[in-house]
Structure 1
Amino acid sequence: MQELSVDPLVGTTVGERYLVLSKVARGGMSTVYLATDLRLDRNVALKVLHPHLATDNSFLDRLGREAKAAARLSHPHVVGMFDTGNDGPLAYLVMEYIPGHTLRDVLNERGALPPRLALAYLDAVVEGLGAAHAADLVHRDIKPENVLIADDGRIKVGDFGLARAVTTTTNTGMLIGTVGYLSPELVDGAPADARSDIYSIGIMLFELLTGHQPFRGELPVRVALQHLTTPVPAPSTELPGLSADLDELVRCCTEKDPESRPADGYALLEDLRHIRTTLSDAELDFQAPSHIAGTPETGTPETGAPWGRTGNGRTEVVHLATEAIRTEAQQTVLIDNSLLPDDRTQQTKMMGRIHHTTVLPAGSNPAARQGYAGPLSPPEEPAPVLRPSRREAKRAVRSAEHARIRAAEHPLQTLRRGRPRRRFLIWLIVLLVLALLGGGAGWFFGLGPGALAAVPNVQDKTVAQAQALLQDQGFGSMSKDVNDETVQQGLVVTSDPEPGTQRRRFLPVTLLVSKGPVLYTVPAVTGGTLDAAKTALNNAKLALGNVTGQYDEERAAGVVLSQSPTSNTQQRGTTPVDLTVSKGPTPIPVPNVVGKDKDAARKAMNDVGLVPQLAPDTVFDKQVPAGSVVSQDPASGTLSKGSAVTLTVSKGPKLITVPSFIGKQVDKAVQELQQLGFQVKVNNILGGFFGTVRDQNPVNKDVPEGSVIILTVV
């Protein structure tokens, strides 16, 4: 329908900074405007929250924290968060403005996409999610409406933190999200994490490949129940010939148990890109059958499909955003978890009633359509007709089948009329039973054992004390022993789920009880090298302590002699192990035995632990008598025990024949005698005026080298 009124915010300035230019979209949580940042002179998307949220202080505090966290995330595939604030009764967010369209617009226009295009869109979305998950941000509301495609081809994920902020401030029995993409754990009241976004990605991939979501129903709670209980079908069940790898990708993303899904966006991105590179061109360009590819999910709000409205020559996109329970298939809805068990019971009863209702297709005997219970007369013989062609016959069969399906969806009446009063009483009883069941379920999930309660803090408590605290909150418990370095043995380390977590009271809480620190066995390193000991201690999660050197006569230098603590004892991690390492044999100073008798020299060497060895050749020495040590090798320094020292023994001085110099001049005689190794003593008679040797002692004899030769000179 045509919009007659003009939005009052258009043309105004919000926060004394943002000039509102036009209205872009409206959802259940906010209205989005195109605005100009007057301070930075750029276009931005201004998201103004609806009044029921803008007046909730706890929600605004939470939204501010989420917005700050989102603002710290800078990634080319994530819509940037610029600012948040309040202006009187208005609460708003300022985000990056992306001129273009959404992935929902692509689905509405094209229907089912070929795998190459679907994986290309998904690659950018998952990469942006991976960056968010690495920054501890969870989106919680992944859907085609929140995937923005700019006019220049950029792909970005928007609305980080908004769904989480709303969920945190709603009642404990409520959950928020787009019902077609809700993960089972969110439906079941468990907290969301990165794997919840992975589930929504799997649903969106199914929709991109087939053109529709896997679960649909008249009420959002019906769809939520299917997420909880029904496996997501393989896309190839509707697209025969589709690659099995794509079926497997959808399956692993949509496992009911979050532990079986990829851990986060980056883990999924690795699998997705591997599949893109391994699929053949034929598999990537697989085309859906024409009856699927040509039927995108478009329609009116009453049919549960995306919609828009046109007026004044323009189309206003109505984004399907956070809303109370309505019929729009892509709406982000708020669902009471306590309705789900009643809904299962009601669904079973409704299926039973449908199963026992007899419906005749259009064209059946009129008496039967009016509820006639007697015998039916056979139909009259039909007049002969021309035989239709094969194509016309198939078309007639399909038309009849469609007619039967439509008739089954809207039964006119049963074959048994019954009595109006009895039917009224039956319906009254049914309504009373449903009311009692609904009330019982509401009590069970609101105040009874199924209600949500916060897990108390039981850290450093004994098991008995912790169990008492849990019982006070209505929780049962079980215990599990774990190692802990700081908490004393026998006391509770923490609980699973962690303290403060909202949990259904009928679900048990596991107490993690300390059994002390992890102990490691000390390895045996004695006898090995110091380097080998370091490696062994490191592998055993222990540390190298003090290393002390010690002389050892049997172990080479660098060999470990002892360790403390000893091997095969149990120690805490990083406990230091002290080692005593050999420095080799004790060094012995070499004694000086030069000039000693050879026997005395050998004894001196043996006394200190050295081994004396005599040189094979003796030598003349004019100063060292025969039989004594002339030299030793080594002459000094230190040696280890058992080392050898070579001793050279003297033969005494060498014997030289003394020639006669009588009658010769004294100077020449002295010179020649000294050259022969003798010492010369000159005795002058009458002053030695003539300088002639008159007498010599000894003369013409063999005497030891270095002997004194006496010359008498006149």
Structure 2
Amino acid sequence: MQHALPDHLTGTLLEGRYELGPRIARGGTATVYRAVDTRLQRVVAVKLMHPHLAEDPTAADRFVREARAAARLSHPHVVSVLDQGHAPDGVPYLVMEHVAGSTLRDVLRRRGALPPGEALALLDPVLDGLAAAHRAGLVHRDVKPENVLISGTGRVTVADFGLTRAVDQHTATATVLGTVGYASPELVTGQRVDTRADVYSAGIVLFELLAGRRPFEGGPLAVARAHAEGAVPDLRTLDPGLPAGPARLVARATARDPQRRPPDAGSFLEELRAVRSGLRPAELARLPPPGSVRGGPPAPPRDSGATTALDPAGAPTAALGAEAAPTEALGPAAPTEALGPAAVRTEAPRPRSTPTEIRRPPGPGFPAASGRPLPARRPGGSSDPWRPEVELRPTRPLHAAGTLALVALAVAGAAFLGWLLGSGPGGTVSVPDVRGAGPELAEQYLAGAGLGNVAVHETADPVAPAGTVLGTDPRAGATARTAEQVVLLVSAGPERTTAPDVSGMPEQDARARLEEAGLTVGSRTPVPDDAAPGTVVGQHPEAGHAMAEGSAVELAVSGGARADSAPGVLGRPVDEAVRVLAEAGYPARVEESLGAPFGYVVAQTTDGAEVVLTVV
């Protein structure tokens, strides 16, 4: 479910039209706010790029270009882009359709694995929306459950085309911009990607819907290696009772070789509907076994050739730069044969034989206690039934080759371990102290120390200005591995609250109500009013205004009805005279005579509703 939280931008009006409400999401490139289009009086979602990213002209131009590309889509299963503009500080934003409801990730957290019928029904509109994007020449590049929105009426839409690129704009890159847990092998290894990358990600989503967890677990680097070098596990090895159709569908969509996948989301959708129509009602409604709801076996060792299931919660979104892994770790792998439409029969590997000695059983002519082995079979053969027909001992050349292979593997493993614990992601550095800096400068300091995996977490702080780094996790001075994620704790300013309406309350009740809202009482001004004395008759700021916690609200308190005539204040000090008149409900205007060296009232006249005091 989307949780709305006010922050320092709540209440901001963009270009005189879009009034920002509470924050509903924050990602790696932008923050999303629920907002009101004041011109059309409708609720929308405004996606505002992070200011430190907007300072890069290339990133800002790409944000605008991709927003315009996404706006070309008009489909019931794609979140519509309605408008685009720039905030007063130049930060670009885009306005999207607001979908009130939950995400597919919420469904997975709540229910775990789903029956095949529900899983296929949920993926159907997702593929329908992606197919519209593919027909328009766009690739989403970040298909995951968090980007699948489900409205209160059950409408399913694909959101966040922020990583979208036109197919002809794709180039090889060493940076993974999507979520690693759902990234295709070609995206992980920096190769050119096309619509088949979205097909792979959608296949991983279907795997998670059927198994309750993703196929690979571990840190971002380990998961990226698994996608690049391993094969997605067969779902039927995890759940033997699963119908063969959905398992084959997942295997085809997640083939490591893009040529073996459906060419685009439209083709994948046709295959999904064919599989769904071929399942019996009992197969569609089959409940997953209890063990497939959550959890999974531990991650394999770093240098293990095997890949295992499964990460229940999912690894966080991470960007893998060129320095995140050695070239050989994420290089292109040999194509993997995927399961076809028909079941593939494979022969179980035979266990390797070990040297065996054949002994004769005791009996006539066979000394029971000798225990001596029979000699090897002669070339001419023998009719002795106790002689082996073939030699089971491995020949010397094979033995030598095996030894050399083991030595080569040991040397390679030692070299890899040296790199891992030295300059590779296994190396350690000290976390620098970046408190007080801005997020962008802090990231530069961390990158200079060898820590390139940085995330930003905003937290309220009553003292530090918004955008100031409060600290890091791990803390400054701690030892961290170069591949480890460092979290920047950034101040979002004080907590925001809304001024309550205290007009008409007795002063003491108004004070208590303001304190409950986290506010204090500022100046108290008595004013003449027909309300009972001590009743609050006005406040500043007005009710409903967003304020920082701890801020003061000024109160105007009734001093009772104004007297029929102004009290006399002749001979009093001017400050006292003005106060007495104000309490009686008469504003005063002071006129100084001879520079007013003494500050006493020597004359008092009434000019309409105002009292004029002459002071010397």
In the superposition, the TM-score normalised over structure 1's length comes to 0.43
More strand by share: 1
More helix by share: 1
